[in-house]
Amino acid sequence: MPASQTLARSSRQAHSPSHTQTSHESQEARQTLQHNLQQEIQNLQMREQQTQHDMQQARLSTQQVTALKRQQRRLQLALKRTQATLVRLNNQMAQLDTRDTMLDQKETAQTQEALSLLSLLMQIQQSPGPLFRPASPTSEDPALALPLLHARLVAIQHHANALQRERLALHHSQTQLDQNARLIQTQQQKQEQRHNESLERAQEALAKQQEAQQNLAHSRALLNESRANMHSLTNAIERLARQEAAARRHLLQQARLLRKKHHGTQAHQAETALHALDTGPGLAKGQGLSPVQGTLITRWGQETEAGPATGLTYRTPPSAPVYAPCSGRLLFTGDFRSFGPMVILDCGHSQRFVLAGFGHITAQTQQAIQRHDRLGAMPQQGGHLFVQFRRGTNIANPMPFLTSSP
């Protein structure tokens, strides 16, 4: 049943003429709200954990996408450099092909010249007379023609050897370029494959990032809903405190009126119903018990980063026991958001203590508690116990009520 409906029903019944029914319904409303509070706190904790998990996943997905994008850029640059190197090698190979063609032309020209000279030498050897007959009185000595031809053939041979060495060097360079080209082509293929794989991973990571963002948005919506429910239930408990106060006033007025009219039995029923609303004897100043041994490091109302302190904070020794500051009933025991393990102790007469920062809690919700009963212990490494005191809907300074040590 929603807290608002429970309160509305309890508010109507607080003015019912049946005193027993008024007490019973007020207790039922309180127990229902306490149960809902416990459930909503558990829901809130689960949704906060899920939100933290989704936030972590969203951050991981964003980091993965960023890393993959950086990797893509590196692969693209490497691929461009490889392509540029391959183009440069192709240009060098084209230049080598041009040089090879020029060498072929030179060799062909030298070969033709050498064939012509050899043909001339053969003619000289077969019939030297006509060849060595001077063409005119002023012509050079024909006897010099044979040495000149021989010298030219030697020069052609040397030039042919040089061309051959150049061709061997050219072929070696071509072989090296061919090997480098094949290596670069293989490297280019691998880079293109890695680039494609990186694109696929980036797309997958982007899809996961979008999914993580959607999950995070959904978790935040659920968390906000839980926080709203938690706030609503806290308000409902405060309204319940006001309702119980109104019920007490109503029952007290009825009892007094009945006493004046000498309706003793009905007055006794009204007084019994009034006492049934109290979960504890209440707490007067100087009657409370300091819940833990430790050093008081923050006083009520002291300025903090979050504003004036709404309670006391004790720095405690390791595993220090924590005791009930008053007699009453536990409305809640368990983890609560960033407070960690926490208890809410109803002392009666609309007085409640909130204790947070336990290492572990040994008491249970709805358990009847006597002053100085052990509620649990602080963490093994020591810690800080937060103590808040509420009177009805107001937060009050607990120090005047906590004058004795445990």
HEC string of the chain equals: CCHHHHHHHHHHHCCCCCHHHHHHHHHHHHHHHHHHHHHHHHHHHHHHHHHHHHHHHHHHHHHHHHHHHHHHHHHHHHHHHHHHHHHHHHHHHHHHHHHHHHHHHHHHHHHHHHHHHHHHHHHHHHCHHHHHCCCCCCCCCHHHHHHHHHHHHHHHHHHHHHHHHHHHHHHHHHHHHHHHHHHHHHHHHHHHHHHHHHHHHHHHHHHHHHHHHHHHHHHHHHHHHHHHHHHHHHHHHHHHHHHHHHHHHHHHHHHHHHHHCCCHHHHHHHHHHHHHCCCCCCCCCCCEECCCCCEEEECCCCEECCEECCCEEEEECCCCEEECCCCEEEEEEEEEHHHEEEEEEEEECCEEEEEECCCEECCCCCCEECCCCEEEECCCCCEEEEEEEEECCEEECCHHHEEECC
Residue 37 confidence (pLDDT): 61
Tell whether 62 and 153 lie within a shared domain. Answer: yes
Q: What is the dihedral of CA 147, 151, 156, 161, to 10 degrees?
A: 130
Query: 33 and 68 share a domain?
Result: yes
- Collect all residues with Cβ–Cβ distance below 8 Å to 137 and sequence separation of at least 6: none
Q: 283 and 271, same structural domain?
A: no
The verdict on residue 234 lying in a domain is yes
User: Six-digit token pair at 266?
Assistant: 């009905």
Amino acid 231: pLDDT: 61
Residue 137 in any domain: the answer is no
Answering whether pTM is above 0.75, one says no
Residue 138 lies in a domain: no
Output phi, psi for 361, to 5 deg.
-115, 135
Indicate the residue among 230, 260, 277 that finishes a domain: 277
Q: Report how far residue 248's alpha carbon sits from residue 276's, in angstroms, rounded to the nearest whole number.
A: 10
Residue numbers of the domain that contains 379 = 279-406
Question: Is 326 within 8 Å of 345 (Cβ atoms)?
Answer: yes
Q: Please list the rounded mean pLDDT of every run of 10 residues in the chain (406 residues).
A: 39 44 59 64 68 70 72 73 73 76 79 75 64 48 65 78 81 80 80 78 78 77 62 60 75 85 82 72 87 93 83 94 94 80 88 92 91 95 92 87 75
Is the CB of residue 388 less than 8 Å from the CB of residue 332? no
162 and 180 in a single domain? The answer is yes
With respect to residue 136, please indicate whether it lies within any of the assigned structural domains. no
One domain for residues 287 and 270: no
Domain identity same for 364 and 404: yes
Q: Does residue 264 sit in the same domain as residue 315?
A: no
Does one domain contain both 19 and 112? yes
46, 56: one domain: yes
The answer as to whether 140 is a domain residue is no
Q: Which of 277, 294, 314 is the last residue of a domain?
A: 277
In a domain, 89, yes or no: yes
pLDDT at 3: 36
What single-letter amino acid sits at 170?
Answer: L
Q: Are residues 51 and 173 in the same domain?
A: yes
pLDDT score, position 17: 45
CA distance 301 to 75: 61
Same structural domain, 169 and 235:
yes
- Nearest one of 357, 351, 366, 360 to 387, comparing CA atoms: 357
Domain co-membership, 398 together with 318: yes
Q: What is the pLDDT of residue 403?
A: 78
Amino acid at 320: A
Domain count, the chain: 2
CATH code at position 381? 2.70.70.10
Domain-terminating residue out of 228, 245, 277 = 277
In a domain, 84, yes or no: yes
Per the domain annotation, does 134 fall within a domain? no
